[in-house]
Structure formats: structure tokens, C-alpha cells
A and B are shown apart, each in its own frame.
Chain A
Amino acid sequence: MKLTETTPDTFGIIKNISGDEHFINRITSIGITHGVRFQTIKNDKRMPVLVYLRETLIALNRNDAERIEVTVR
């Protein structure tokens, strides 16, 4: 499923990230890579998605979060 479809307090693992090289560079340099464990903190309509991973609380705008595939545990 997409990261934007997760509900608060779900735990999961990042499965796939699609986008151009520019996007991949940006998203990986902040710590979002394959296989990383994450926790969705907040996911409100028309607001950036908040995830917690690698000890960091990260706000991701919705368009970008759409491109991130995750598996939920």
C-alpha cells in the first residue's frame, strides 16, 4: 500500500520508492530508504504525512508520500 494510505500508529517497512533521480536523492538523503522501519504519526487530509524513522520525525508532502510503497506489519 501507499504511505498516504496508512493510519496513525501503524508500523511498517518502506518497500519501494518511485520517482526521478532528483527525488530519490532528496528522499534518501533524509533517511527514507528501502527496508527502513517506520511509524506513521499523523496522516490528516490535505496535510503532509508525518512519519517517524531513523529517530527522526519527518514531514512529507502528500504528492511525494504517494510515491512511497510500504508494507504494514
Chain B
Amino acid sequence: MNRIALLGQPNSGKSTVYNALTGSHQHVGNWPGKTVEKNDGYYTYNGKKYAVTDLPGSYGLTGNSDEEIITADYIRQDNADLVCVLVDASQLERSMFMLAEFAALKKPSVLLLNMMDVAKQQNKQINHKVLEKRLGIPVLPFVAADQKGYDKLKKLFSSELEKPHKLANAPASSENGVMAECDAKYRWISETLKDVTKTSSEKYEISKFDKAALHPVGGKLIAIGVVLLAFLAAMVIMAPFMAVGSMLPGLLNQPIHDLLTGWNVHSWLVSIFSLILPNVLYFSLSMAGFVFGVNIAFGFLEEIGFLARAAYQFDGILSKLGLQGKAICPVLMGFGCTIGGACGTRVMDNWGQRMLAMAVVWAVPCGAIWSVIPVISGMFFSPAETACICLGILLYMAVMMFIVSKIFGKVLAPKETRSGMIMELPPYHKAHWKHIIKEAFLKSWDIFKRALVTVTLVSLLFWVFSFSSNGDITKSLLYRVGTFIEPVTRFFGMGWQTFMGFLSSAFAKEAVLGVLNAAFVGQNSLVDATFNAKTAAADTTMLGSVMAQTISKAEALAFIFACTFNVPCVMALSTTYRESHSLKWTARVAGFYIGGALLLSCVVYHIAVLFM
């Protein structure tokens, strides 16, 4: 087997190359005993199979982070036949540091001068032939986001695997500590780059746009404005997915029902196939749509270099949460979709910060919550009061983020590992749309596949609990359990109906209205209601008047807060587990959120009762 490993600093375009090479032939796992993600994939070229490993991104190889230790060991133990080192051609001197670190390992390698387009834009000329001669390994000028170069790259890989080259020289090692080591490495870099590239020593002129975008006050307003626009764009992109998805249950239900009944299939199975499956499809499709839209919008902002500016703006606020500026992207994505936010934490520097960022992102109410809560609130409160409630949710979100960071921050990001933001602000450049769309598609396809499985399983579970032979809700297991524990849930401010709604909010926020409808109005069976969320909940005026008669305003308010700050949907949980590779921590944070939501509901109810 031919094994190739990709090595490079963050922002070197490493994962772009990895994705473009392997496409859908990827496998995500764990490095043994570590929470660091291991990405393996393969491609075939001229009938031969090539395995590609995307090594964890880090700035060097000699640091003591998990990522660096894994990477250095992996290369040292000859797990790769060829190491492809990526550097950013537009910042050659700085990004060559990785090569300088790698040089000491003396393994077969090639050098990829990525982002040649950006370098050209900045009028930087690089004489790669001289560089090649000096290094003794092949040097390939490259644009990772452009599909055209990949044939050349694959050709280079196959010829190098047959006749490999090693670096001709390495930086002198020093016994005088880390600092002297580093100085030696940069000396080696400047010797290597002599006459290869002209280092511009002229003054840096800050661009007009950056003058505004980096302003302490104005820049924050710009960042918020741009992000709002991005969400608008994301919604436009996801609209068709939602539209198609929402039609599926209505379109598929009857035909499947008739077909299966015609075959004399048992009514239970008919119910499963005609109700649950179309709705699973609908949920999965809308989640994939969410993830697709959010990823295109934020992928664009990331690629043109804007997100780094936003990170600069919000570093101060986020550092109070034990995070740093880079977490701004996942936090903002969380307003659209918690799944997207959890994936977005990949930009964080280490695992602890990543897990902490995910825990914090859970507190951000997602798009689905914002579509459900005002409807419920409107049944009990005036528009002005509803606006106040939404404001209250935002305020409590800030409180919750703070509490989460205090409770989990100590362990996940202990003071001594907390590293403030040290990041580059890349020059603005044009977006490679094809690349952005492809990445967003891969991500949303992955979510779609996992959602099908997860949502089916959870739906079946819910179906068992809510099933009743004649459609009467009082016959269901859920009703019996719900009314049995009602004395307890009452204490937390919720009767059995609202508590059922609370439970369903952990399944999917979209299901809440349907479940409430079944529990309060009781016309449809609970099964119908949950899985026909959209159609059953269409008559919200009816639900509103029944609910307003049945429960107090205080209970409604408690319920609104409990739902909003409950654990996010099952898919967000499953994504957090997948991204963190830690069941223990996902469960721990989930337990905290459920407990926190119940406690919040309890407090809100008992205070509200005094005034309402």
C-alpha cells in the first residue's frame, strides 16, 4: 500500500487538499488513547490505491500538545511512505517553520507551495526551482481550492513513492533551550529562502475596509451586521430543503398507508412506515438543509478572511468564558443550528477548549427554538411581552454561557493551558465557490446519513412510549408515566402535558408544537401529532385557546424557558459526541443541561406565580 501523510500549519489548506484527494472515501476515527480526530481516506490513481492521512493541524512538531506528539510519533515510526508538507506561499517564511521542524525527522517528502494565487495577488514571486534544488525534494506550486492541479499532484505522489527524496539539510540543533532552537530554525529558513523570494520590507498599509472592520466599536457592529446577513443568506439557501422536506410526510403518508394496508400488513407496522419514516426523512432533510446553509454562509466568511477579524473583535468577551476569539464562529453558528456550531469548534486550538466551546454553544438557542418559542409565547402573552421574553432568553443565554464556562472550564481549560489568542489575520481574498459548496455538501450529506439512523431510532422509542391501540392518549405509556410523575414535575412548574413537551424538546424542537397539540387538544393521537409535527400544529389558534384555559401563564413561562435551555436536539448531541470523541463529557454536559433546565423552570415558575 502507498501511504501518504499531509502535514501543515492551520490555514495551510491541508484539509482542502485532503478532501479534494479522497472525496467521499474518508474514515473518521480516534488516535489511539487520544481525543484527537484521525482522518484516513484513500484515492485511486492509474489503478493503484493510495491511502491518505490528514495529520492533526498544529503550528509545529516539537510542542507538547497532543496533536504535535501524535504527529511527530506518526512520522517517526514510518507510518507514512511519503509526507506531503504544505506551506502558505503568501507567507512563505513564516509557514516554512513546519518544514524546519519536520526536517529533523529525515523522511521522504514533497513540499506543496499552496495559495500561489494569493501570493500572485500580492505580487510575491517565488522561484520554486531554486528552492527545489536547495531542499533536495520536489516543490510544487499549488492552489488547493482549484481542482485543476490535482492530476499533477497525484502524478508527483506516485513517482515520489517509487523514487523518494529526502531533505538535503536540516536546521542545526541547539542545546540552549527552546528559544535557541527556534532561532536556529528561522535562520535555516532565511538561508533556504535567500534569492527564492523577496521579503517585502516595506510598510504595511492597513486597508480601508480593515480600518473600519478592526475599529473597537465600529468593527463589532460591522461583524454583527455581516453575521446577520450571513444568516439571511443561509435561510435562503436552506429554504428549498425545508420546502421539499415539509411536503414529504403529507405526500408519502397516504400512499404508503394504502399500499401496506392493501398487503394486509399489521397496523403497527403500517403506522411505523407511513408515519415515522416520512417524518424521519423530513427531519433529516431539514437538518441537512440547516447544516448546508449555515456552512455555505460561514464557509464563505471564513474563506474571504472575515471570520478572523470577527475573532479579533470578540476575543476580549470570549476570554471571559475561558475561550478565545476563535470561538466566535461556532457561537454565532449556534444561532442557526447547534449541529453546525458543534462542527465549527474545529477551529479551536486543543481538545479541552473545543469541548468547552461545544458546551457553551449548547446554550445558544438555535433557529428551531426561535421559530417555536414566539408561537407558544404568543398564545399567552401580548406581542410586547413576547418581545420581553425573547430578550429575557437572550439575557439568560449569556448567564448560562457564563455558568457553563465556570463549571466546566476549570477542568476542560485549566488556567495553565489557557492560551490567549495568537492568530494570523489572513489577507482578504476571493472565495472559491466550488470548494465551499463541496465542503458544505460533504458535511450536510454526513449529517443527513447520521440523522436518518439516529432520528429513526429515537422515533421508534418515542413511538413505543406514545402508542395507544385506539388513538386515545390516556392509553399510552407516556401518559401513564407522565401523570404518575406529575407530582414531581409540578414542583418544577410543569404539568404532565407541558412536561411531555419538555421531553420532546430534547428530541427535536420542531416536535414541541405537535406534542403539545396532542397532549392538550387530544384530537390526534400522540403518535400522529409528533410525527406530523407541521400539519398537526397548523391550528395553533385552537391549541392556544385550549392551552390558555388549561395552564397558567406562570407554567407557560416556565415551560418556555425549560424548553429553550434544555439539551439541544438528539442530532446535536450525537454530533457533539462525534466531534468530541468523548461519551463521558457529552453525557456530563447533557446531564447538566437537563438538570439546569428543570431548575430554571422551577425558579421561573415559583417566581412567576407570585406576579401572574
Contact = CB atoms under 8 A, between A and B. Distances in A.
A26 B456 CA distance: 45
Nearest to A54: B94
Interface residues of B, number: 47
Contacts of A44: 216
A61 B422 contact: yes
Contact of A56 (B58, B214, B421, B424): B424
A42 B211 CA distance: 10
Nearest to B124: A55
B228 to A, nearest CB: 22
Given A48-B325, A56-B91, A63 B178 contact: no
Contact of B90 (A9, A25, A37, A55): A55
Contacts of B199: 54-55
Contacts of A56: 91, 94, 424
Interface residues of A, number: 39
Given A26-B422, A33-B183, A57 B59 contact: no
Given A54-B91, A56-B91, A61-B420, A22 B182 contact: no
Interface string A39-73: 10110111110101011111111111000000000
A26 B419 contact: yes
B316 A17 contact: no
In order of increasing CB-CB distance, the 3 nearest A-B pairs are: A61-B420, A29-B59, A28-B182
29 contacts: A21-B178, A22-B63, A22-B64, A25-B60, A28-B179, A28-B182, A29-B60, A30-B94, A30-B422, A30-B423, A31-B186, A33-B183, A34-B179, A35-B183, A42-B214, A44-B216, A47-B216, A48-B312, A55-B92, A55-B93, A55-B124, A55-B199, A57-B204, A57-B425, A57-B427, A59-B423, A60-B421, A60-B422, A61-B422
Interface of B: 9, 58-60, 62-64, 90-94, 97, 101, 124, 178-179, 182-183, 186, 199-201, 203-204, 206, 214, 216, 308, 311-313, 315-316, 319, 324-325, 417, 419-427
Given A26-B419, A54-B93, A56-B94, 9 more contacts: A28-B60, A29-B60, A30-B94, A42-B206, A48-B316, A54-B91, A55-B93, A57-B424, A60-B421
